[in-house]
Structure 1
């Protein structure tokens, strides 16, 4: 009897899953996907300015 109930459960699972297959659809969006990349580069700019300022002070120590 166990073999029959397993087969019956399998058939019922497959029969239940068949209607769900038609519910899944994939569609491309009407408008293009836009990805905005806001990259913060202030740290690099500040580092470069600090390095340049340090070099300027070293080169012109008599002014400062």
Structure 2
């Protein structure tokens, strides 16, 4: 009797141990929130203004001759 019970329970235990992987597509679209800070334009403006000031006042900034930018 004990052997029959073990034999009957064995397939149930084996079936319970099988791994199950389910792949489902999401029902809603994936939403990505990105907070990006763009500073490139500001830096270019500051660099241009700084170049103008250096060229206008070479002695003040420690340069003997103003640099020419192409």
**Shared fold (TM-score greater than 0.5)?**
no
Which of 1 and 2 has greater Rg? 2
TM superposition score normalised by structure 1: 0.44
Structure with larger RCO (C-alpha < 8 A, sep 6+): 2
TM superposition score normalised by structure 2: 0.42
Determine which structure has the larger helix proportion and give its number.
1
